[in-house]
């Protein structure tokens, strides 16, 4: 029989908890407990309710780690328990982070509803462009991890929060990793602060050992009792329906063909239920959709009652919404998706999952300073997450297009954290702004390579954002840290304020912050190119964007106008939002907006002040438009999407590189080499390595 903890009485430790839905929750105060130890405890100890276990752990442990396979939905109740138990009294706030904006909004509104309060009052949320909180009134606040990091710049110890819960920590996003490192640091100065980390079982051990500090040097004169420094672990397993896993017997040579065959076989042999297929990208997805649709048109018409839909982030919003429409009677929905359906979008009616075993992943080479996107095998954690998508409605099946032997022996158990696959300039500048001087010695959850850190420090030094002691320069370094942009874009924007063209450059900065303002349309390439020519100018893409922006404003921000001109309306709305936010930032920094009134030379000089390191020169007599980077002599080409494609000016500066079969420069402007030396003499003439950076 379940026992309930009564306030005021002492709770035993360790505790074992019964899930009201019939599953069993284990609580262990030791990260090393094995499941057999837990099983023995379970027989000996009283059983407690979930709520009591949470409160027990939060009261007694500095850090609580909640593990379980993801999507248990168990974490949304926690802020309510904490609030009822008095953790939000006296102006204190309970914070809960999520890695995605949409998740913040949906969890916040669900919790507000469950608590019977108006969203934006006792329960609120904060994401970029949207602050739905009332200071003094909001007791439970949901926010993205990135917003919480920004808040630390004004309040490094996050003093207004009593408890900080970090959800989906197993995803190991860049911001989550930075946040966890910073929170561990804050804990030493704030014994009253409680952390709750929610993670998938597979990451439990690394999370627990990261937060396990044996440090006894917390001052004894603190008034607050010092909580147990060993993390308490609560395991919440057993939610969701079982998913039967099927493997192929032999490795498949063509996973597109195998995908199509598997979908058709499911359709022929399995009961009703939608199918979700995981492929790597737009190309594969469109090919698979076509193959299944051709099958549909085939005289034998095996798939005539299949509704095949593609899903990827670049798809226009209206097409994305199709996947949520109810499946017509007698039809079976087949959604062919990228990783977007692994975490960001949830399809409720899915009973069958087909997992190709691959996804596109970002990698970073600190030597060449280039990020690339490559198709690579997924991890076991990812494979489990994909399979789990089949068990939300009722028991489901997952068909893996790889062998069981491969899964067991060769598939890596966890993916490489984003921190170790990224360019670190933004990360480093945020840490510097928070006063963390020793970046190389920082206590990271997973340390990035020394090469990557040194490379980031070098880039920031060359931009004048860090000085010779690797400290933020004033005012430039501090201003760059304030701006929510890539540091090179920030530098460009701040320089433009001095050069009298900030009105234009703030628009360019906003456009460079969104994926692409063009609509990708295959099959209507000619019309698309013609539309683009209406805006194109010889100076390059950045100046072309100014024309698009002007046209969009002149049309009254019309979606019809965008449609006619092959421009992505959603992206343009985002450009407007970002531009407004940047203007507010600039005003707060005391900088003025000024137009250069068509002085495109000045405009390009401002761009160079941020991007001088991305300068390339056309190889003489090169028949195919080959460029070489001035600094590293790497071979690069102008991307066919650029307005300067085939124009091939002698000297160009690019915004970013995309690596496919060639290295392509995206967003390119033509420049005069003399401007480069003028803007960055330290970079192109005197090349002296700075010993303080090493």
Q: By CB under 7 A, name the binding residues for DNA.
A: 99-102, 127-128, 144, 146-147, 150, 173-175, 280-283, 312-314, 338-340, 344, 359-362, 373, 426, 484-486, 513, 515-516, 518, 520, 522, 525-526, 529, 640-641, 645, 658, 660-662, 664
The Cα 612–Cα 605 span in angstroms is 9
For residue 604, report the phi and psi dihedrals to the nearest 5 degrees.
-70, -30
What CA–CA distance (Å, rounded) separates 568 from 575? 11
How many Å separate Cα 673 from the centre of its chain? 37
Residue closer to DNA, measured from CB, 54 or 182:
182
**CB of 653 closer than 8 Å to CB of 668:** yes
Cα–Cα nearest to 484, from 95, 190, 128, 174: 128
Residue 625 CB, shortest distance to DNA, in Å, is 8
Cβ atoms within 10 Å, residue 86: 12
Provide the minimum distance between the beta carbon of 652 and DNA in the complex, in angstroms, as a whole number. 17
Closest to DNA by CB, 204 vs 536, is 536
CB-wise, 212 or 360, nearer to DNA?
360
The DSSP annotation for 291-343 comes to: HHHHHHHSTT-TTTTEEEEEE-TTS-HHHHHGGGSPPPTT-EEEEEE-THHHH
Token code pair at residue 42: 């379970």
- Strands, sheet with 274-278, edge to edge from the N-terminal-most edge strand: 243-247, 396-400, 350-355, 274-278, 332-337, 306-311
Distance of CA 450 to the CA centre of its chain: 23
Strands 306-311 vs 332-337: parallel, antiparallel or unpaired? parallel
Look at residue 597 and give its three-state secondary structure.
coil
**Helical H runs in 621-672?**
none
Nearer of residues 393 and 658 to DNA, judged by Cβ: 658
Least distance in angstroms from the C-beta of 100 to DNA: 4
What length is written for the chain?
Answer: 694
* CB of 74 closer than 8 Å to CB of 239: yes
Q: Which is nearer to DNA, 63 or 642 (CB)?
A: 642
Tell me how far apart the alpha carbons of residues 690 and 692 are, in angstroms, rounded to a whole number. 6
**Cα 302 to chain centroid, rounded:** 40
The C-alpha atoms of residue 667 and residue 72 are separated, in whole angstroms, by: 43
Nearer to DNA, 25 or 644 (CB): 644
Q: Looking up tokens 């080409």, which residue turns up?
A: 637
Q: Which is closer to DNA, CB of 402 or CB of 585?
A: 585
Q: How far is the CB of 418 from DNA (least distance, A)?
A: 7
Which residue number, 76 or 690, has a Cβ lying nearer to DNA? 76
The DSSP letter of residue 623 is: T
Q: Which is nearer to DNA, 175 or 420 (CB)?
A: 175
**Beta partners for 228?**
61
Nearer to DNA, 295 or 342 (CB): 342
Supply the minimum distance, in Å, between the C-beta of residue 93 and DNA: 18
CB-nearer residue toward DNA: 502 or 641: 641
Contact 234, 23 (CB under 8 A): no
204 vs 485, which CB is nearer to DNA? 485
Go through 355-383 and write b for each residue having 16 or more CB atoms within 10 A of its CB, e for each that does not.
bbbbbebeebebeebbbbeeebbbbebbb
Nearest to 69 by CA among 229, 243, 212: 243
β-pair partners for 359: 376
Shortest separation between residue 169's beta carbon and DNA, angstroms: 15
What minimum distance in Å lies between the beta carbon of 94 and DNA?
Answer: 19
Among residues 295 and 486, whose Cβ is nearest to DNA?
486
236: Cα separation from own chain's centroid: 25
Q: Closest CB to DNA among 6 and 526?
A: 526
Tokens 């160009």 appear where?
652
Q: Tell me phi and psi for residue 570, to 5 degrees.
A: -60, -40
The least distance separating DNA from the CB of residue 143, rounded to whole angstroms, comes to 8
Least spacing, CB of residue 150 vs DNA, in Å: 4
Minimum separation from the CB atom of position 513 to DNA (A): 5
Q: Is 33 exposed, middle or buried (0-12, 13-18, 19+ CB in 10 A)?
A: middle
| Shortest CB 517 distance to DNA, Å | 10
Complex with DNA: residue 274 or 486, whichever CB lies closer: 486
Angle ∠(421,423,425) on CA atoms, nearest 5: 145
Closest CB 68 distance from DNA, rounded Å:
23
Q: How far is the CB of 515 from DNA (least distance, A)?
A: 6
Least Å from the CB of residue 86 to DNA: 29
Smallest distance, DNA to C-beta of residue 126, A:
8
What CA–CA distance (Å, rounded) separates 306 from 587? 55
């Amino acid at each position: 029989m379940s026992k309930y903890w009564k306030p005021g009485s002492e709770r035993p430790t360790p505790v074992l908890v019964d899930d009201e839905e019939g599953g069993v929750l284990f609580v262990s105060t030791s990260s090393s407990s094995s499941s057999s130890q837990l099983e023995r405890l379970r027989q000996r100890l009283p059983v407690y309710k979930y709520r009591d276990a949470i409160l027990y752990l939060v009261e007694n442990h500095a850090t609580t780690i909640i593990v379980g396979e993801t999507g248990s939905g168990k974490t949304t109740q926690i802020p309510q328990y904490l609030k009822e138990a008095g953790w939000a009294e006296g102006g204190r706030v309970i914070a809960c982070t999520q890695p995605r904006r949409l998740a913040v909004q949906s969890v916040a509104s669900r919790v507000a509803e469950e608590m019977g309060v108006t969203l934006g009052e006792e329960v609120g949320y904060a994401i970029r462009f949207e602050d739905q909180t009332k200071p003094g009134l909001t007791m439970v606040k949901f926010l993205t991890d990135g917003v919480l990091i920004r808040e630390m710049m004004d309040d490094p110890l996050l003093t207004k929060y009593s408890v900080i819960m970090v959800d989906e920590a197993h995803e190991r996003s860049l911001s989550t990793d930075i946040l966890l490192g910073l929170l561990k640091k804050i804990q030493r100065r704030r014994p009253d602060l409680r952390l709750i980390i929610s993670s998938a079982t597979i990451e439990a051990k690394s999370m627990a050992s990261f937060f396990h500090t044996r440090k006894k040097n917390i001052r004894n004169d603190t008034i607050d009792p010092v909580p147990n420094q060993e993390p308490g672990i609560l395991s919440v397993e057993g939610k969701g329906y079982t998913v039967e896993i099927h493997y192929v017997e032999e490795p498949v040579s063509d996973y597109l063909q195998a995908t199509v065959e598997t979908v058709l076989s499911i359709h022929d042999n399995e009961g009703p239920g939608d199918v979700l297929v995981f492929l790597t990208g737009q190309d594969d997805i469109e090919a698979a959709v076509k193959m299944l649709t051709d099958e549909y048109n085939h005289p034998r018409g095996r798939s005539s009652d299949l509704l095949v839909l593609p899903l990827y982030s670049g798809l226009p919003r209206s097409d994305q919404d199709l996947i949520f429409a109810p499946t017509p009677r007698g039809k079976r929905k087949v959604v062919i998706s990228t990783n977007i359906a692994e975490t960001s979008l949830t399809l409720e009616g899915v009973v069958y999952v087909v997992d190709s075993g691959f996804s596109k992943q970002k990698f970073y080479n600190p030597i060449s300073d280039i990020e690339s996107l490559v198709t690579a095998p997924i991890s076991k954690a990812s494979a489990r997450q994909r399979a789990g998508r089949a068990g939300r409605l009722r028991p489901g099946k997952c068909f893996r297009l790889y062998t069981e032997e491969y899964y067991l022996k060769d598939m890596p158990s966890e993916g490489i954290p984003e921190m170790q696959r990224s360019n670190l300039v933004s990360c480093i500048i945020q840490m510097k702004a928070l006063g963390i001087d020793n970046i190389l010695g920082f206590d990271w959850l997973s340390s990035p390579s020394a090469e990557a850190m040194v490379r980031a420090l070098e880039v920031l030094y060359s931009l004048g954002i860090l000085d010779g002691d690797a400290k933020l320069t004033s005012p430039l370094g501090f201003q760059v840290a304030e701006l929510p942009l890539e540091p090179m874009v920030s530098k460009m924007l701040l320089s433009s304020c001095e050069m009298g063209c900030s009105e234009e450059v703030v628009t360019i900065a906003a456009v460079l912050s969104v994926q692409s303002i063009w609509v990708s349309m295959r099959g209507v390439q000619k019309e698309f190119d013609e539309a683009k020519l209406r805006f194109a100018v010889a100076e390059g893409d950045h100046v072309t964007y100014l024309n698009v922006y002007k046209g969009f404003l002149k049309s009254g921000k019309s979606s019809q106008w965008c449609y006619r001109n092959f421009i992505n309306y959603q992206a343009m709305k985002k450009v407007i939002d970002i531009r407004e936010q940047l203007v507010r930032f600039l005003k707060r920094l005391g900088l003025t907006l000024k137009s250069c009134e068509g002085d495109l030379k000045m405009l390009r000089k401002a761009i160079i002040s941020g991007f001088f390191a991305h300068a390339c020169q056309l190889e003489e007599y090169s028949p195919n438009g080959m460029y070489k980077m001035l600094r590293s002599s790497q071979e690069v080409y102008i991307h066919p999407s650029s307005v300067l494609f085939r124009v091939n000016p002698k000297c160009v500066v690019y915004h970013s590189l995309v690596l496919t079969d060639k290295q392509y420069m995206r967003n390119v402007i033509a420049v005069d080499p003399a401007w480069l030396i003028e803007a960055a003499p330290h970079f192109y003439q005197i090349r002296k390595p700075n010993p303080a950076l090493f």
